[in-house]
Amino acid sequence: MKRAVLLAALALALAGCKVGDDYRRPQLEAPARFELAQGETQLQSRWWSVFQDPALDALVERALASNLDLKLAASRLREARAVITIAGGEARPQADAGGSFARREASTEVAFGQFFPPAPNSFHSLGFRASWELDVFGRVARGVEAAAAEYDMVREDARATLVMVCAEVARNYVELRGFEQQLDVLRADLAVQIDTAGLVRSRVQGGLEDELALARIEGFIAQTRSQLPQLERERAARENALATLLGEWPRELVELLARERRPLTLPASVATGLPAELLERRPDVRRAERELARACALSAQAEAELYPRLSLVGALGLESQRLDDLFQSGARTWTLGPSVTTPLLRGGLLRAGIEVRSAQEEQALLRYQRAALEALRDAETTLAAWTRANERIGELEQALVANRRAEELARQRYASGLENFLSVLDARRQLLATESEHATAELQRAAALVAVYRALGGGWEVEADAPALARND
């Protein structure tokens, strides 16, 4: 008994001797600033508020509450948390209780069985057994570290989902408003064309214009009207996408979208923060770092498999042949002592396992470095797209001014008889094309701004406002 206690005390003293290297987060290099940085102010968590649109704010809040992808991410978090408990279970004492009854009659066909037939006998037992693996070399502890890192990976996946949901709601919303703006432009132009057709028709009836001018304007009207179904289809697609993101039927959004419609307001610049802050913020980079920590823990666990396993085993029970004697003092039995198992001959499997885990750790490090580079690339690319979109809007606004002036002059000269109707039609067609291009560019600029914020990794900080994820904190 004393020997068992001494061995247990020695094992506990060695329990802190974990095998393998402890994980240390590698440092990533980042440039001092973005090439197209527009400000180094800290990125705000609710970045969609820069559009100053209450309808968009309401849609994001509803998505946080009911998006199915977020609920799925929450379920995965619960699963990952349970895995941590399972991984640490081997390091906790295990106990079982049980009982048995058996009646045995020996064969009479063995030696002397015919002359001395054995009597049937019974066996009753009732007992309690406990065991405790002393994690001397950290095999179980490394498994817990790996499970905890995997939980962190799932948490970052949930945050990436949160970023995606907020960005997709914003993108589909601004695109929906953009298509509505294009429809407004097209319908306004269509009304002007119809008025112009009425003027031409009256001039044809008065003999001041030929039928060719009327045919041209009527063809122009039909061509303009043919663009309406395509824009309506695009608008409906964005509406349906928003409904899916909110976990609702599309019809439930119609009232809100119609009631809260207003022109989008875009900021003049974006608070990008610093590249180093981006690497700390992006969920995909954070996930890659946690994946590296998991690989490091599994590598150390594989190394610990080379070392012995030490357990304390104890049992207390009752055994007897007669049920009436089971609870007598003489039926008592017990065992207590250490148990040691050590690998001897495994055909190189353990060494190969260590090599596998080492290679996986190296791969995880490379994925972490790649994730950082891709994050910086995404940010620079979207910032460039946003900058160029602003420049394009400026050029198109100048073109709009010029084309409106040209269309006005063509009308005046046509009314004075100095130009034929073809000049008016060409000027009107050019103006319509520029207005449509300008509306499309506005849509693209708003979408580019959403892409910037998504690339900067903003939005996951509001996870406390997502009920499904908040319940997993």
Distance of alpha carbon 24 from alpha carbon 67, whole angstroms: 36
Measure Cα distances from 355 to 26, 275, 351, 360, 365 in Å.
Answer: 21, 35, 6, 9, 16
Stretch among 18-22, 322-326, 365-369, 423-427 having the lowest mean pLDDT: 322-326
pTM equals 0.83
Q: What is the DSSP string of 104-135?
A: E---SSSTTTTTSPPPPEEEEEEEEEEEEEE-
Among the listed residues 26, 18, 19, the one whose alpha carbon sits nearest the alpha carbon of residue 362: 26
- Output the pLDDT for position 340: 84
Q: Which of 200-209, 336-345, 400-409, 458-467 has the lowest mean pLDDT?
A: 200-209
Rounded Cα distance, 424 and 97, in Å: 97
> Residue 112 has what pLDDT?
53
Taking residues 341-351, report their average pLDDT.
82
User: What integer pLDDT is reported at residue 24 of this predicted model?
Assistant: 92
Per-residue pLDDT reduced to its tens digit, 398-417:
999 999 899 889 888 877 77
Q: How far is Cα 305 from Cα 269, in angstroms, rounded to an integer? A: 56
Place of tokens 């112009």: 196
Query: What are the start-end ranges of the E strands in 293-424?
Result: 309-320, 332-341
Answer with the residue of higher pLDDT: 109 or 264: 264
Nearest to 368 by CA among 296, 297, 289: 289
Give the largest CA-CA distance in the chain. 140
When pLDDT is averaged across residues 292-301 and rounded to a whole number, the result is 93
pLDDT of residue 120: 66
Residue 23 DSSP symbol: P
CA angle 233, 238, 243 (to 5 degrees): 125
Joined together, the tokens standing for residue 337 give 């002592």
pLDDT at residue 6 tops 70: no
Backbone angles phi, psi at 309, to 5 degrees: -110, 130
Mean pLDDT confidence for 256-274: 81
Spell out the CATH class of 17-92+138-307+352-470: mainly alpha
Mean pLDDT of 305-330: 78
423-443 mean pLDDT:
86
Top pLDDT among 32 and 43 is at 32
Q: Which pLDDT score, from 0 to 100, does residue 1 have?
A: 47
Q: Give the chain's end-to-end CA distance (angstroms, integer).
A: 46
Higher pLDDT, 432 or 199: 432
User: Amino acid letter at 199?
Assistant: L
Phi, psi of 302 (to 5 degrees): -60, -35
More confident residue, 180 or 91: 180
Asked whether the beta carbons of 130 and 174 are under 8 A apart, the reply is no
Contact 236, 179 (CB under 8 A): no
The values of phi and psi at residue 23, to 5°, are: -75, 135
Q: Quick: pLDDT tens for 116-168.
A: 556 667 777 777 787 787 888 888 888 889 999 999 999 999 999 999 999 99
Average pLDDT, the chain: 84
More confident residue, 10 or 68: 68
As beta bridge partners, residue 340 has: 310
The tokens for 315 are 């049992």
Residue 63: pLDDT above 60?
Answer: yes
Q: What letters, b where the CB count within 10 A reaches 16 and e where it falls short, cover 330-358?
A: ebeeeeeebeeeeeeeeeeeeeebbeebb
Phi, psi values for residue 319, rounded to 5°: -140, 140
Looking at per-residue pLDDT, the higher value among 19 and 393 belongs to 393
Angle, CA 319 vertex, CA 318 and CA 324 arms, to 5°: 90
- Give the separation between CA 42 and CA 449, rounded to whole angstroms: 16
pLDDT at position 3 is 53
Provide the pLDDT confidence category of residue 4 given band limits of 50, 70 and 90: very low
Residue 111 pLDDT greater than 90, yes or no: no
Mean pLDDT, to the nearest integer, of 85-104? 79
For residue 117, the model assigns a pLDDT of 59
| Contact residues for 207 (Cβ-Cβ < 8 A; gap 6+) | none
Copy the structure tokens of residue 280.
């700390």
Single out the residue of 117, 239, 129 nearest to residue 174, CA to CA.
Answer: 239
The mean pLDDT value for 368-395 works out to 94
Residue 153: name the closest of 263, 48, 258, 293 by CA. Answer: 293
Is the pLDDT at 14 greater than 70? The verdict is: no
The string of DSSP codes covering 249-270 is: -THHHHHHHHHT-------SS-
| Portion of the chain with pLDDT greater than 90, in percent | 36
pLDDT for residue 92 is more than 50: yes
